[in-house]
Structure 1
Amino acid sequence: MELGDEIYEEQVIRGSIQEKIFPIGQVKSDFEEAQVVYDAFQCHEWVHDIGRILHRDISMNNLMFRRIDGEVYGVLNDFDLATGIDDLDRTPTSKHRAGTRPFMAHEQHSDKWNGPPRYRHDAESFFYLILMLGCNYSKPGTKVENAPYGSWFDAGDQHLYLSKRVLYTEGVFLPPTKRSGYEEWGRQIQRLLIRGFNARLSFELDRDNEPDGGSFNQDTLGGHFTADKLREVLSRFDNRIVISRDPAKLYLNFPS
């Protein structure tokens, strides 16, 4: 292309237009917020089962939503730390610890843990997400004073490890909350985790007496902490049905 006496290389400018999505704190009600959480869980299951990917950074900042015809559609955002399940054996130990620390699985805070990342670590992060929403907020986007889990955002790994571990090993109940839907979610998921970690402990104690050591599904804590069990919990909130959707359409940013 010529401009006066100068010759310039022709260039093309391209851009993309993306639909705007919003942080979870901008929903209008507890039930809408619960729908966003359940949608994000369904997105997670789709990329795990179909894409064979672990997200590894489930947190409040990564749960977003779009609103279409007045209805919210949850989005699981930010796959920067995601890992292919088939590549876990080749992931360097130094990269096993990843995520937003208040939401990381409890054993990932231990200096004795060196991986690999597992499905249950992502699923455990959903549990902490629910604790935060139910106990640290009085309604969407509104934090309470002296939030029960406020210290988790500044604490070190030892504090986080002990504070999270006690939820499964000493029968500690969750703090009371006026957000009854989240309290019920939290208690049900806590029971699944307690059963799972108790089953793992029993297996480890009995394994010494078995010549071949036996086997235990570490990804789902012996089948006690599975996607199906979590879906059964998350599909109801405050005695209302939460909508189940096509995860592929949620993930690909299309409404159901």
Structure 2
Amino acid sequence: MYTGTKPFRAHDFFNRRWTGGYLYRHDLESFFYALLWLCSRYNGPGKALNDGEALPYDSWSTGTSEEVRMTKWDLLTEPEFEPQITDFFRDFDSWLDEMQTQLFYGNLDDVHPQQTQTQTDVDFTFDVETLGGHFTYANVKGIMSTFDGVELEE
């Protein structure tokens, strides 16, 4: 059984069939969810959207584990992802979009392994630690190396 704050918990930890243990990419995925959550709930520093009003991704905290698993799977496998975020955080749109794209391709490759023209059988070797190399620290760091067109310093 894996623990963690339900809205930010990696998708694998809602899947009863997941036996791969804890991986670093799960922290990266949790960061993606936390950033998405924050950007959808605030209109500025200390300016939370009205309580009682339905907010994007509410089901991550109110739904059953199975409902959260399914809604996160839908998000991870959505080819036309458009983050539901407030105007104040619109500049984070590219980070969120690019991270979801890497998660999308990693999960797509995991479900549908690629076959080359010279192979007769599908190659089932898949690096689950990085979703086939799509979701790594280096990739996320690269995504976050610029903000609103400006290169960031480390």
Instruction: Answer yes or no: same fold by TM over 0.5.
Output: yes
Residues paired across the two proteins, number: 147
Q: 1:196 aligns with which of 102, 106, 112?
A: 106
Aligned-residue offset at 1:186: 0.7
Runs of 4+ in 1 over 6 A off after TM superposition: 204-208
Q: SS at the partner of 1:143?
A: coil
Aligned-residue offset at 1:223: 0.8
Aligned partners of 2:124, 2:57: CA distance in 1, in Å?
A: 38
Q: 2:64 aligns with which of 145, 151, 156?
A: 156
Q: 1:238 aligns with which of 128, 148, 154?
A: 148
Aligned partners of 1:125, 1:228: CA distance in 2, in Å?
A: 16
Q: 1:173 aligns with which of 70, 82, 92?
A: 82
Aligned partners of 1:227, 1:217: CA distance in 2, in Å?
A: 14
Listed as ranges, the gaps of 5+ residues in structure 2 are: none
Q: SS at the partner of 1:126?
A: helix
> Residues 184-238 of structure 1, C-alpha deviation per residue, up to 9 Å, x if partnerless?
211111111111111212228899925xx65221111111111111001112222
Provide the TM-score with structure 1 as the length reference: 0.52
Q: 1:217 aligns with which of 127, 130, 146?
A: 127
Larger Rg: 1
> Residues 66-106 of structure 1, C-alpha deviation per residue, up to 9 Å, x if partnerless?
xxxxxxxxxxxxxxxxxxxxxxxxxxxx4xx1211110111
Listed as ranges, the gaps of 5+ residues in structure 1 are: 1-93, 245-256
Aligned-residue offset at 1:113: 2.3
Q: Give the AA of the match of 2:100.
A: Q
Aligned partners of 1:214, 1:154: CA distance in 2, in Å?
A: 36
Q: Which has the higher contact order (CA 8 A, sep 6+)?
A: 2
**Equivalences for residues 6-45 of structure 1 within 5 A:** none
Provide the TM-score with structure 2 as the length reference: 0.82
Q: Is the 8 A contact 2:78 2:104 kept in 1?
A: no
Aligned partners of 1:233, 1:112: CA distance in 2, in Å?
A: 31
Aligned partners of 1:208, 1:117: CA distance in 2, in Å?
A: 33
Q: SS at the partner of 1:225?
A: coil
Q: Is the 8 A contact 1:189 1:230 kept in 2?
A: yes
